[in-house]
Amino acid sequence: MSSTLKSLRALSDPTRLRIMVLLEKDELSVNELQEITRMGQSRISTHLGLLQDAELVQSRREGKRTFYSRNQAADGSALEWVKPAVRGARELPEHAADQVNLRRILARRNDQQQLYFNQIAGRFDRSYGPGRSWQAFGQMLLRVLPPLVVADLGSGEGLLSELLARRCKKVIAVDNSEKMVAFGSAKAKKNGLKNLEFRLGDLQDPPLDPQSVDLAVLSQALHHAQDPAQTVRAVHRLLRPGGQIMILDLLQHHFEKARELYGDRWLGFAESDLQRWLEAAGFKKVEVGVVAREEQPPHFATVLASGER
Ligand SMILES: C[S@@+](CC[C@H](N)C(=O)[O-])C[C@H]1O[C@@H](n2cnc3c(N)ncnc32)[C@H](O)[C@@H]1O
């Protein structure tokens, strides 16, 4: 049978016309169509099958449910018949009630969604949200970074360096552990990151030319430095005018075991110390503040301190 004849046949039944009108606004499941039209499930399924055969309707599975919608990509000649047929269907005696029921069903869908978000408002930021992660936020924020030259000081294996290297012009990762440098270099090579270079060196005198860097990052590294104030001064020297320092470190704490467990030299820093060292080194626009707190004991807090040369 030609597609025109199939369409005409599919549209020749008042029940199928009612369904076509209902699928005009939104996709609907068989259950929803049942509730709206007050018809039995098998009757609806049969009619949907015929409309699908004529390619006037398409379906989409979501979990256990199937949603039906108008096939907007249907053959042009098929669509030609749909408009007048649907217009005629508005004269059917069931049309008014169908529309009232449709509005009710669609409103209920919205209410259910709102109910969920209303229930979790106030807890949402701390609860699980599918697909939502700090990693994803980080990747998004990276895209607004200009092509910078970055020094990642006390880089470790280069978790952050690798992330930055995917966007930045060049990343120089500095660490005083030979093994970290060797491991990080091999990983960067394996991942094809040609703009990421690992160098063996000390935080207090990083192996970088003066005024050669746009951004210097010290992530959980400063509390390993012998002299944190001197490290901040050294970073000031290697930054270009306008360059920025970003220190992520632990807020001062009393968890002595951190020395043994994590090899820490300092038990975090007071915000006032970081502020003082940055200002004394000559940084402008200094900002220091706590940006995260752990829920588990010993409740480490992370402080972010930044400044501009
Ligand atoms: C806690 S890890 C942080 C690694 C990385 N920045 C991160 O956030 O995942 C500290 C790193 O600093 C390095 N480190 C410790 N003292 C250092 C020093 N004086 N100079 C350079 N690197 C140092 C260690 O080898 C280690 O890789």
pLDDT digits (tens, 9 = 90+) for 108-139: 888 887 887 778 777 777 778 889 888 888 88
Task: Establish whether residue 184 lines the binding site of ligand 1, counting it when its CB lies within 6 angstroms of any ligand atom.
Answer: no
Nearest CA among 243, 235, 263, 153 for reference residue 198: 153
Q: Residue 1: which residues within 8 A CB-CB, separation 6 or more?
A: 9
Whose alpha carbon is nearest atom 26 of ligand 1?
156
Q: What CA–CA distance (Å, rounded) separates 77 from 72?
A: 12
What are the φ and ψ backbone dihedral angles of 238, each rounded to 5 degrees? -85, -5
Tell me, using a 6 A CB cutoff, whether residue 247 lines ligand 1.
Answer: no
Hey, what are 240's tokens? 């270009």
**Does pTM top 0.85 for this prediction?**
no
Lookup: tokens for 37? 């039209």
Ranges of the chain whose pLDDT falls below 50: none
Compute, in angstroms, the gap from residue 217 CA to the centroid of ligand 1: 11
Q: Smallest Cα–Cα separation from 44: which of 61, 25, 68?
A: 68
Q: Which atom of ligand 1 is nearest to the CA of 203?
A: 20
Ligand 1 pocket, 220 CB below 6 A?
yes
Q: How many angstroms separate the alpha carbon of residue 147 from the centre of ligand 1?
A: 25
d(CA 148, ligand 1 centre) in Å: 22
> Residue 218: CB within 6 Å of ligand 1?
no
Is there an atom of ligand 1 within 6 Å of 225 CB?
A: yes
- 4 C-alpha vs ligand 1 centroid, how far in Å? 72
pLDDT of residue 1: 60
Instruction: Check: CB of residue 147 under 8 Å from CB of residue 168.
Output: yes
Residue 154 CA to ligand 1 centre (angstroms): 3
